[in-house]
Amino acid sequence: MAKIDPFTPTAADKFTFGLWTVGKTGSDPFGGDVREQLTPAQIVDLLGKAGGVHGVNFHDNDLIPIDASDTEAAQIKKDFRAALRRNKLKVPMATTNLFSDPVFKDGAFTNNDAEIRAYAIQKTMKAMTLGKEFGASTYVFWGGREGTESDATKDSVLAVKRFREAIDFLCEYSISEKMGYKFAFEAKPNEPRGDMYFSVTGSYLALIPSLKHPDMCGVNPEFAHETMAGLNFTHHVAQALEMGKLFHIDLNDQVPGRYDQDFRFASVNYKANFFLVKLLTDYKYKGMKHFDSHAYRQSDYGDVIEFAKGSMRNFKILEHKVAQFNADKKIQALLKDIDRTNAKLSKLTRKFTKTNAKALLAADLDRVKLAAKPMPYEELDQLVGELLMGVR
Ligand code: DIG
Ligand code: MN
Ligand code: MN
């Protein structure tokens, strides 16, 4: 009996890829295509070959070129639908390309030109309908061009107001058309703009309560985006989770402080990716796990399939490491030791009352004694390292 590989993905893992990820032709700012342009149907077949993929996502123009005729669009959709069927793939998420066409060279929803802002909203409405045609339930907004190179060119307060106005309108549109979308906002600090508005996930978490329909709005954090700014991505995801706003997540990898590399998941920062998978596992994240990443420029499509397989496999390997961590007696003993509870004091600080305040002020808390408590963090982190390096 062949040994079952425990890291083989299945549709139940909810791994998804964008058409633009495995379909990327390997171009970069310093070189053109190195792989032929596949059709959406061919990209879906390629994902079928990788095996275990749950779904595929698209920007409107990944599927339907911006200048396609109605006849061409109909044929593309027909072929795409057939490919989805034969590969048993779903379309959980859709989004709008508001960053490639020259019209968006200075932004979309935050553009200085009211006509371009209106066109961006109109284009998004049509893209939302297209996504609905294929069953998408999450709608992502990545403000690729919302930002500046010179702050002389835009009023940054007005930018926030204009973004909010567009989202409030589009929430109403989704409601009025009974689309049932959940909106997920994706932050990025820079690239392609010198500085992008809403630069980190927390920026959107701060905006959401000010929207007309905060209930249908959440975030779509991307590992590379906080990481490229030298921040701890897992902390941003934790805050989104804690607020019930982690509606979607973009997984990839990235060398901190570099341009957005969109590397294969867990191909660089094993430890950072481990703690992300631990957070998602421990807090039972049930959403899609979307790999917004692409293969190296040197890869052919055979290697692109390996990229897709490796992305999913790495996630499942890290899930296995999380299970090992949670079952490791020594690690768990140390975690128990450093988690210092005091029921009496916690009762006081959990809810303010005059009595509690009086009791807290009177409490005998000796800072010297408190500071002397041991914190075996080197021992704990070494154990995690040894677990990840496969010697524990
Ligand atoms: C970049 O990380 C952005 C675009 O790829 C897309 O709009 C969004 C959805 O994953 N991420
Ligand atoms: Mn990215
Ligand atoms: Mn992304």
pTM value > 0.95:
yes
Name the catalytic one among 54, 59, 248, 294. 59
Cα(312)–Cα(350) distance, integer angstroms:
41
> How many H-runs (helices) and E-runs (strands) does the chain carry?
16, 10
Average pLDDT value for residue range 164-187: 99
Average pLDDT value for residue range 50-59: 98
What single-letter amino acid sits at 280?
Answer: L
The number of the ligand nearest the C-alpha atom of 144 reads 1
Name the catalytic one among 54, 60, 62, 250. 62
The number of the ligand nearest the C-alpha atom of 222 reads 3
Cα(185)–Cα(200) distance, integer angstroms:
10
Whether 146 and 196 have beta carbons less than 8 Å apart is answered as: yes
- Tokens read off for 331: 């690690």
Say if ligand 1 is within 6 A of residue 262 CB.
no
Say if ligand 1 is within 6 A of residue 62 CB.
no
284: left (phi over 0), alpha (psi -120 to 50) or beta: left
Say if ligand 1 is within 6 A of residue 95 CB.
yes
Domains parsed from the chain with CATH numbers: 11-327 (3.20.20.150), 329-388 (no CATH)
Say if ligand 1 is within 6 A of residue 186 CB.
yes
Please name the residues in contact with 272: beta carbons below 8 A apart, sequence gap of 6 or more.
223, 227, 232, 233, 234
Question: What atom in ligand 1 is closest to the CA of residue 20?
Answer: 5
Mean pLDDT computed over every residue of the chain: 98
Question: What atom in ligand 1 is closest to the CA of residue 222?
Answer: 2
Own/partner pairs for 108-112, CB < 8 Å, 24+ apart?
Answer: 108/143, 108/145, 108/146, 109/143, 109/146, 109/162, 109/163, 109/165, 109/166, 109/167, 110/143, 110/146, 110/147, 110/154, 110/158, 110/159, 110/162, 110/163, 110/197, 111/162, 112/153, 112/154
62 is an active site residue:
yes
Ligand 1 centroid to Cα of residue 272, in Å, is 21
- Total number of residues shown for the chain: 392
Residue owning tokens 């007005």: 158
Please name the residues in contact with 59: beta carbons below 8 A apart, sequence gap of 6 or more.
18, 19, 20, 94, 95, 96, 97, 127
Cα(262)–Cα(136) distance, integer angstroms:
23
Indicate the DSSP class of residue 216. G
CA nearest ligand 1 atom 5, residue: 292
Q: How far is C-alpha 353 from the geometric centre of its chain's CA atoms?
A: 41
Name the residue of 222, 228, 294 whose CB sits within 8 Å of the most ligand 1 atoms, as the mutation to test its pocket.
222
pLDDT at 64: 98
**Residues, CB-to-ion distance under 5 Å, ligand 3:** 222, 250, 292
CA nearest ligand 1 atom 4, residue: 142
User: Reduced to 3 states, what is the DSSP secondary structure of residue 134?
Assistant: coil
- Report pLDDT digits (tens) over 258-301: 999 999 999 999 999 999 999 999 999 999 999 999 999 999 99
Cα(76)–Cα(92) distance, integer angstroms:
19
- Tokens read off for 57: 């996502």
pLDDT at 328: 98
33 is an active site residue:
no
* pLDDT above 80 for 2: no
* pLDDT above 90 for 178: yes
User: Reduced to 3 states, what is the DSSP secondary structure of residue 15?
Assistant: strand
* pLDDT above 80 for 165: yes
Whether 254 and 223 have beta carbons less than 8 Å apart is answered as: yes
* Percent of the chain topping pLDDT 90: 99
Alpha helices (H) in the chain, listed in sequence order:
19-22, 40-50, 60-63, 70-87, 114-133, 156-176, 201-207, 223-228, 233-242, 270-282, 301-327, 329-338, 343-350, 354-362, 367-371, 377-388
Question: What atom in ligand 1 is closest to the CA of residue 59?
Answer: 7
Average pLDDT value for residue range 54-72: 98
pLDDT at 4: 78
